[in-house]
Amino acid sequence: MCLTERIAVYPGSFDPITYGHLDIIKRGLSVFDRIIVAVLNNSRKAPLFTVNERVALIKESTKELPAVSVDSFDGLLMDYVRKKKVHVVLRGLRAISDVEYELQIASINKHLDPEIETCFMISSNRYSFLSSSMVKEVAKYGGSVHLLVPDAVERALEKKFM
Ligand code: ADP
């Protein structure tokens, strides 16, 4: 019997979390015992929500999932994953357009730490064209994001674009 807990880090910008992310988290829990959702404090992108806001929205959206914890990090993902003593990174794959970018990240991460594996989960069909940027664009112009993001995120978007 194997008593080791299977833990994955699910990193990303989550600006903000969508039902697509949540779908990966929930389905990931059928493979992993615990998932750490790790919000990247990315200096390359100009986010709509601060890291603290993004963390709070993910916590609220996953509060019924005790096996999920939420954290933030900056710097190299591999340094963060090693610090957490985790060996698997979970990423979602949507359309074919994700593949090249994801392969680049996975390869550089493999180069930085060959002992850490990247595990890809294919998006559910209904979320395969859903992205945080799409959601922000729709919300910005007053469109409904009700079926795309959890309620707390919908409210937070309304406030941002009020
Ligand atoms: P990043 O800036 O790191 O790409 P994102 O928040 O956009 O951060 O995405 C985090 C992860 O979630 C990525 O692996 C991305 O492919 C995945 N993801 C985003 N949206 C969806 C979706 N609708 N379905 C499945 N996976 C998704």
Q: What is the pLDDT of residue 4?
A: 85
Q: How far is CA 122 from CA 63, 138, 147, in A?
A: 24, 24, 20
How many angstroms is it from 12 CA to the middle of ligand 1?
6
Judge contact between 158 and 139, C-beta under 8 A: yes
Number of helices and strands in the chain (H, E): 6, 5
- Residue of 13, 61, 123, 132 with catalytic role: 132
C-beta of 24 in contact with ligand 1 (< 6 A): yes
Binding site membership of 13 for ligand 1 (Cβ less than 6 Å): yes
- CA-nearest residue for atom 12, ligand 1, is 92
**Shortest-distance atom of ligand 1 to CA 40:** 3
CB-CB contact of 43 with 13 (8 Å): no
More confident residue, 4 or 62: 62
Write down the domain spans for the chain: 7-128
Q: Model-level pTM? A: 0.95
Residue 141 has a pLDDT of: 96
- State the closest ligand 1 atom to the C-alpha of 120, by its place in the atom list counted from 1: 14
d(CA 21, CA 140): 20
7-128: in CATH 1.10.10.10: no
What does the mean pLDDT of the chain come to?
95
Whether residue 45 is predicted with pLDDT greater than 80 in this model: the reply is no
pLDDT for residue 96:
81
